[in-house]
Amino acid sequence: MVNFYKGIIPRPILLPYYIGVWTLGYGFRFKFVRKVIKEAEKRKQLYYNYGVGQWTSGWRWFWYMKHDAHVLCISPYFLRFFLLISLVALFYAPLVQSPDLRRTSSFPHTFYNNINNNATPISLSSINNKKKKVNNLIQIDMSKSRVYADVNVLRPKEYWDYESLAVQWGEQDDYEVVRKVGRGKYSEVFEGINTTSNDRCIIKILKPVKKKKIKREIKILQNLCGGPNIVKLLDIVRDQHSKTPSLIFEYVNSTDFKILYPTLTDYDIRYYIYELLKALDYCHSQGIMHRDVKPHNVMIDHELRKLRLIDWGLAEFYHPGKEYNVRVASRYFKGPELLVDLQDYDYSLDMWSLGCMFAGMIFRKEPFFYGHDNHDQLVKIAKIL
């Protein structure tokens, strides 16, 4: 156990503090007694002037007044008693270890940077951005990602400032809807065809949402265009009358995961998880969190052994220390940080979701963590892990 307060309040500061409070207690006590007795003497003389009968009651009142004054003055004794107890507690009472860790012999003096599997030792003096020394304490910054933390810091504002994006609209008449293939909270998805090239495509018609959200998705898809296993954005169109925007994507002949996953072999599972990891590593290296990784958003063409990570509507640019909305990801794939409303999360959010997917594929249990609400979801996780 560590006496936490002992490291914060030095003894030379505590000593004059207690002497001052002790003296103050005596000062208040005597001042109060003198004031009460002086008032009582005046009242006694007043009662005495009105006659013998009332003098007796006045004297009795005077005695009670003095008695009550001394009783009320017991409070400084209690004050000093509790101050003594507090003093002992501050110096000797063992308290629970706080989040601020004291440097001890057991505290690691060397850290390792495991990025890209390079175990490079890093001394404490070289990671001042992760630690702040306060007196003789070390405060660890938990809000910064361990990988790709400064991607958007080092890049120009135009890369991540999606609000200033000027959308270049294509021709909606170049595309025709063939059939509906799915729907989501923010959009409806159709299989379509490009009338000029006769190529199949996916048409994602967005529901009425804020322009800011639409621009964010478009900007992220443009930044990730050409990345490994990232669905390719082909065009952006808008209805001339309703002004409803639609996103045109490459076509993937995917199989429903509820049908596909039970048929996958051990090698298939490892292969597709590896392909998904490549997509996530790429988007993270570009300073982007997906925030909605789940089987529904991983399209697999098993015949061509092709995987695409889709639905970037909840994706966001990562900035160190920034607080984000916790109402992202589907409940069964939410990380514990989201379930406890921790807002300063990072890319690791996607890795938890991928782990839930991986476990579901291996153990043939979908979803792997099945909670009825956020609290129950956390309970299910705790029971298994």
- Reply yes or no on whether 292 is catalytic: yes
Question: Are residues 46 and 58 in contact, defined by beta-carbon separation less than 8 angstroms?
Answer: yes
- Residue 35 contacts by C-beta under 8 Å, 6 or more apart in sequence? none
Tell me the DSSP string of 299-351: EEETTTTEEEE---TT-EE--TT----S--S-GGG--HHHHTT-----THHHH
Report the alpha-carbon distance of residue 100 to residue 95 in Å, rounded: 13
Residue tagged 């007043």 (tokens): 46
List the catalytic residue out of 235, 292, 311, 346. 292
Report the alpha-carbon distance of residue 357 to residue 326 in Å, rounded: 20
Report the alpha-carbon distance of residue 223 to residue 232 in Å, rounded: 11
Strand ranges of the sheet holding 137-140, from the earlier edge strand across to the other edge: 101-102, 137-140, 131-134
Question: Are residues 258 and 209 in contact, defined by beta-carbon separation less than 8 angstroms?
Answer: no
Q: Is 204 annotated as a binding residue?
A: yes
Question: Are residues 249 and 232 in contact, defined by beta-carbon separation less than 8 angstroms?
Answer: yes
Tell me the two tokens of residue 23: 């003296």
Residue 104 — left, alpha, or beta (φ > 0 → left; ψ -120 to 50 → alpha)?
beta
Tell me the DSSP string of 79-100: HHHHHHHHHHHHHH--BPPPSS
- Residues annotated within a binding site: 204
- Residues annotated within a binding site for ATP: 204
What residues act catalytically?
292
